[in-house]
């Protein structure tokens, strides 16, 4: 998900900031291979660099937001005295037995 988002942000940033700077041919070459930047003028190279910086900045801000959401979610899931694995397995076995009994009663 993060890689796809990063790709979308980069392409949008390139379209928004480079469409007036690069010709359609230059943009097509650049989409095929970023090495095409070496054929551009210094001004065009700087604008491409600025587009990459802006996209990276946006991606990092999104990563920080997702990290903060993950921290909040983990704090909400925290249990001071969590049940032991044995207790949880016992509870699951009881539920399974009840479900099996209910299924057997419905099958008759």
**Residue ranges of the domains in the chain?**
2-77, 83-108
Q: Please state, in angstroms and rounded to a whole number, the distance separating the CA atoms of residues 96 and 104.
A: 12
Q: Is the pLDDT of residue 2 over 80?
A: no
Cβ-based burial of 6 (10 A; exposed 0-12, middle 13-18, buried ≥19)? middle
* 48 torsion bin: left (phi>0), alpha (psi -120 to 50), beta (else): alpha
Helices (H) and strands (E) in the chain, counts: 4, 0
| pLDDT digits 0-9 by tens, 27-47 | 888 889 989 999 999 999 999
Choice among 5-9, 28-32, 85-89 with the minimum mean pLDDT: 5-9
Distance of CA 14 to the CA centre of its chain: 20
Residue 40: its pLDDT value, please? 92
Give the residue-averaged pLDDT of 90-95.
Answer: 92
Residue 77: its pLDDT value, please? 92
Where does the pLDDT of residue 55 fall: very low under 50, low under 70, confident under 90, or very high at 90 and above?
Answer: confident
């Amino acid at each position: 998900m993060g890689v796809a988002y990063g790709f979308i942000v980069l392409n949008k940033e390139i379209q928004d900031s480079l469409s007036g700077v690069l010709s359609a041919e230059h943009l097509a070459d650049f989409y095929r291979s970023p090495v095409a930047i070496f054929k551009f003028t210094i001004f065009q190279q700087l604008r491409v660099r600025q587009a990459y910086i802006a996209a990276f900045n946006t991606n990092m801000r999104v990563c920080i937001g997702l990290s903060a959401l993950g921290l909040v979610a983990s704090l909400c899931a925290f249990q001071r005295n969590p049940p032991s694995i044995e207790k949880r397995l016992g509870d699951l076995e009881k539920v399974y037995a009840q479900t099996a009994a209910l299924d057997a009663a419905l099958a008759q």
